[in-house]
Amino acid sequence: MKHTFTDKKDTRSGFGAGLLELGKTNPKVVALCADLTGSLKMDAFQKEFPDRFFQVGIAEANMMGLAAGMTIGGKIPFTGTFANFSTGRVYDQIRQSIAYSGKNVKICASHAGLTLGEDGATHQILEDIGLMKMLPHMTVINPCDYNQTKAATIAIAALEGPVYLRFGRPVVPNFTPADQQFIIGKAILMQEGADVSIFATGHLVWQALEAAEMLAAKGISAEVINIHTIKPLDDAAILASVSKTRCAISAEEHQMNGGLGDSIAQLLSRKLPSPLEMIAVKDSFGESGTPEQLMTKYGLDAAHIVKAAETVIRRKQTVTA
């Protein structure tokens, strides 16, 4: 099946649209931002609901504490800043005041990964998924396009408990349905296949679909599964797919250490040992460049997924032989 897209949009705008809709439908929702309102696309919410929008300035630690406090009294706070400042900079605040305290805060993080582009490695966090998934009871979500980010933003307001929602800066294909129901923790089968399972998250989902098409031309049938929720991981969907294909690829815009691939490797090694190749950044910081240049240089594109698929299928055949 050939996947198409109607338009190209940034996932952060999906967040902004979802937040605006929540503003209209859920009076408990409040939003906090650390001097990045435009970058996070929170300006529409700010304009429409000035009394429920809190500009905290360049003080992310205070923002996380404020958000934790606002839950006391029944608010549902959504914090917005870059992924780097949403996680690494405020890890202890999130750990103690939000996660350990069980506070209903939605940590919404834009400009994650290499696709932040020209600003370079200081801002290109590639460790955030790992940091957040290690926190007990933290839900970690990384949607793939505009429509899915909007749906995820709306969905997390209904989940009681802390959530990390990760999205990005660049304009990318918008290919999932506008009217989709976003089910937290439920992987989405994008394309059925028999020879290899590709588990992708975030911007890599589109790359995986392109790779599947390139593989089909070579006579390889790839199954593509969108893992928008990294924690809790949809173990059943992963095991069902690998039971059929007997080999897997993980694909993400994140360090190999601590990312989605790590979680899948843990699962497979415990339940269904199978050859696994990981498309991820290999123990390296990023650098300046366009998003496309960086994704190619660091091996996070469709061409690299195709190579990994061929490798993992060869490994499977060796194991079987």
Partner 1 sequence: MPEIKDLENICSQVRRDIVRMVHAVNSGHPGGSLGCTEYFVALYFHTLKHNPAKFSMDGIGEDLFFLSNGHISPVFYSALARSGYFEVKELSTFRKLNTRLQGHPTTHEGLPGVRVASGSLGQGMSVALGAAVAKKLNKDDRFVYSLHGDGEMQEGQIWEAAMYAAAKKVDNIISTIDVNGQQIDGSTESVCSLGDLHAKWLAFGWDVLSMNGADISNVIATLQKAKEHCGKGKPVMILMTTAMGQGVDFMMGTHKWHGTAPNDEQLAKALAQLPETVGDY
Which of 12, 41, 52, 254 is the binder for partner 1 (CB under 8 A)?
A: 52
Q: Is 46 in the site for partner 1 (CB under 8 A)?
A: no
Which residues, at least 6 apart from 258, have a Cβ–Cβ distance to it below 8 Å?
A: 127, 129, 130, 131, 133, 134
- Using the rule CB under 8 A, give the single segment among 61-69, 196-204, 289-297, 299-307 that binds partner 1: 61-69
Tell me the helix, strand and coil percentages in the chain, rounded to 5.
40, 20, 35
Token digits of residue 141: 């979500």
| DSSP string covering 213-259 | HHHHHTT--EEEEE--EEES--HHHHHHHHHHHS-EEEEEEEESTTS
Q: Which of 24, 25, 100, 273 binds partner 1 (CB under 8 A)?
A: 100
Q: Which is nearer to partner 1, 51 or 283 (CB)?
A: 51
Using CB under 8 A as the binding rule, whether residue 214 contacts partner 1 is answered as no
Nearer to partner 1, 67 or 278 (CB): 67
91 vs 146, beta carbon nearer partner 1 = 91
Q: Mask of contacts with partner 1, 298-317, x by CB under 8 A?
A: --------------------
Q: Which stretch binds partner 1 (CB under 8 A): 46-54, 141-149, 197-205, 286-294?
A: 46-54
The closest alpha carbon to 147, from 19, 18, 31, 44, belongs to 18
According to CB under 8 A, which one of 1, 72, 158, 319 is a site residue for partner 1? 72
Within 10 A of 221 (CB to CB), how many other CB atoms are there? Answer: 14
Based on the shown chain and the rule CB under 8 A, indicate whether residue 36 belongs to the binding site for partner 1.
no
Q: Does 88 bind partner 1 (CB under 8 A)?
A: no
Nearer to partner 1, 54 or 167 (CB): 54
| Contacts to partner 1 from residues 150-169, by CB under 8 A | none
For tokens 């050939």, the residue is: 2
Q: Is 49 in the site for partner 1 (CB under 8 A)?
A: no
Pick 99 or 196: Cβ nearer partner 1: 99
Separation of alpha carbons 306 and 321, rounded Å: 23
* Least CB distance to partner 1 at residue 39 (A): 20
Nearer to partner 1, 68 or 222 (CB): 68
Residues facing residue 43 across a β-bridge: none
| CA–CA distances in Å: residue 46 to residues 11, 119, 151, 293 | 19, 26, 20, 34
Residue 107 binds partner 1 (CB under 8 A): no
Return all residues near 224 (Cβ < 8 A) that are at least 6 apart.
189, 190, 191, 193, 198, 200, 205, 208, 209, 212
Instruction: Specify whether the CB–CB gap between 84 and 120 falls below 8 A.
Output: no
Q: How far is the CB of 58 from partner 1 (least distance, A)?
A: 9
The single residue among 22, 56, 209, 222 that binds partner 1, judged by CB under 8 A, is 56
Binding residue for partner 1 (CB under 8 A) from 15, 45, 49, 54?
54
Pick between residue 66 and residue 138 the one whose CB is nearest to partner 1.
Answer: 66
Q: Which of 17, 22, 30, 116 binds partner 1 (CB under 8 A)?
A: 30
Integer-rounded Cα radius of gyration of the chain:
19
69 binds partner 1 (CB under 8 A): yes
Q: Check: CB of residue 62 under 8 Å from CB of residue 73.
A: no
Confirm if 11 and 152 have CB atoms less than 8 A apart. Answer: no
Interatomic CA distance for residues 317 and 321, integer angstroms: 6
Q: Which residues bind partner 1 (CB under 8 A)?
A: 30, 51-52, 54, 56-57, 59, 61-75, 77, 92-93, 95-97, 100-103
